[in-house]
C-alpha cells in the first residue's frame, strides 16, 4: 500500500474519533457545571482548554469553550476542523475509500460547514456529530475490505480514542470532585449502561475508573483500545520476529502493562498526571508509526493537544 494512502486512512480514523470525543468532553464539561454550582465556570473553562491543548489567556468562559472546541474551523482543536481534516484525508485517499464512506463523510462535512453547527442547540449539535461519526465508522466497517487500509483506519481510531478518553478523565477530575462526576464521565463515554450491567447501580470513583481504564470488553476503555492498536500493528507487521520489536508496539505494550498490573488500590493516585503521560505516549506512538510506515508521504500535522 502507498504510504500516502495509508497515512490518509490513519488520519481519517483519528480525525473522526477526535470530532466525536470532543463533543463528549464538552458535553461532560457543561453537565458538570450544571450539577455543581460551586465550580468557578471561568476557571473550569481555562482548565478544559488547557487539557485540550488550546492556547488560552488568564480567563475564558463557556462561549470560548464552544467556539474553540466546537464551532471555529480555524481552531485546530475544534470539531469543525476535525471533520474538515477527515474530509480532506478522505479526498486524498479517494481511490481506496469506498463510495458509500466518501458520501457519508462528505454529507457530514456539508451538514456542519458554514457555521451550521453553531446554529444548532449545543446538545443537538453534539448528538448530530456523534451520530454522523457512527454512521461513517459503520459504513467503513461494512463497505471496506478489512485489509491493510482498514487496519490503518482502525489503528488511528484506537490511538485517538485512548488519548481522548485520557483527556475526558483529566477534565472531569479537574472540574469537580462531586459524587456525580464519575457518573457524568461514564455517560459521556457512552459507558453508563455497560457499567451498570457489570458493577450494579452504585457508582464509586474506583469502580468507574477501573471500568474506563481496564475493562477488556468495553470498546471505549483504555486497555481495550491499547490491545486493539497492538493487534492492528502486529497484523500490519507480519515480518516481526518477536513481540515488541516495533517501537510503537513496545510503547503500547508498556502502557498497557502499567495499567493492568497497577495495584488496584492505587488506581486513582496521581490520575491526572498519569493521564497526561498516556497522552504523551499516544503522541510518541503516532510518531513511531509515521516514521515506519508514512516516511516519504506528504506529512499531515495533528495540531491539537500536547
Which residues, in sequence order, are CB contacts of 297 under 8 Å at separation 6+? 2, 3, 4, 6, 7
- CA nearest 113: which of 82, 148, 135? 82
Which residues, in sequence order, are CB contacts of 71 under 8 Å at separation 6+? 78, 79, 80, 115, 117, 118
Domain-by-domain residue ranges, the chain?
3-293
What's residue 35's pLDDT?
A: 83
pLDDT along the chain (306 residues), means of 10: 90 97 93 84 90 85 94 94 96 93 96 92 95 96 94 97 92 66 86 89 81 94 96 81 71 95 87 92 95 69 48
Q: What single DSSP character describes residue 9?
A: H
State the cell numbers at 155: 489503528
CA–CA gap between residue 155 and residue 226 (Å, rounded)? 10
What's residue 214's pLDDT?
A: 94
- From residue 114, give the alpha-carbon distance in Å to each of 71, 80, 117, 227, 250: 10, 10, 8, 39, 43
What's residue 240's pLDDT?
A: 47
What's residue 272's pLDDT?
A: 87
What's residue 175's pLDDT?
A: 64
- CA nearest 76: which of 286, 279, 282, 303? 303
Amino acid at each position: 500500500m502507498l504510504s500516502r494512502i495509508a497515512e490518509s486512512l490513519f488520519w481519517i480514523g483519528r480525525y473522526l474519533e477526535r470530532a466525536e470525543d470532543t463533543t463528549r468532553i464538552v458535553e461532560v464539561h457543561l453537565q458538570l457545571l450544571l450539577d455543581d454550582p460551586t465550580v468557578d465556570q471561568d476557571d473550569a473553562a481555562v482548565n478544559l482548554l488547557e487539557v485540550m491543548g488550546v492556547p488560552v489567556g488568564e480567563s475564558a468562559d463557556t462561549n470560548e469553550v464552544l467556539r474553540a472546541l466546537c464551532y471555529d474551523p480555524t481552531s485546530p482543536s475544534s470539531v469543525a476542523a476535525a471533520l474538515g481534516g477527515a474530509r480532506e484525508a478522505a479526498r486524498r485517499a479517494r481511490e481506496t475509500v469506498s463510495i458509500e464512506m466518501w458520501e457519508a463523510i462528505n454529507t457530514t462535512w456539508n451538514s456542519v460547514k458554514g457555521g451550521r453547527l453553531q446554529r444548532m442547540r449545543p446538545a443537538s449539535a453534539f448528538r448530530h456529530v456523534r451520530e454522523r461519526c457512527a454512521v461513517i465508522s459503520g459504513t467503513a466497517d461494512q463497505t471496506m475490505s478489512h485489509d491493510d487500509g482498514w487496519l490503518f483506519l482502525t489503528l488511528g481510531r484506537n490511538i485517538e480514542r485512548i488519548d481522548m478518553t485520557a483527556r475526558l478523565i483529566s477534565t472531569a477530575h479537574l472540574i469537580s470532585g462531586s459524587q456525580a462526576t464519575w457518573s457524568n464521565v461514564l455517560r459521556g463515554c457512552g459507558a453508563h449502561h455497560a457499567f451498570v450491567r457489570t458493577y450494579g447501580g452504585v457508582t464509586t470513583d474506583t469502580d468507574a475508573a477501573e471500568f474506563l481504564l481496564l475493562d477488556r470488553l468495553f470498546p471505549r476503555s483504555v486497555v481495550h483500545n491499547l490491545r486493539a492498536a497492538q493487534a492492528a500493528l502486529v497484523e500490519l507487521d507480519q515480518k516481526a520476529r518477536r513481540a515488541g520489536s516495533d517501537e510503537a508496539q513496545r510503547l503500547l505494550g508498556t502502557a498497557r502493562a502499567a495499567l493492568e498490573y497497577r495495584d488496584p488500590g492505587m488506581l486513582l493516585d496521581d490520575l491526572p498526571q498519569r493521564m497526561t503521560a498516556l497522552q504523551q505516549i499516544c503522541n510518541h506512538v503516532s510518531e513511531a508509526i509515521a516514521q515506519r510506515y508514512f516516511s516519504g508521504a506528504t506529512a499531515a500535522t495533528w495540531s491539537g493537544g500536547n
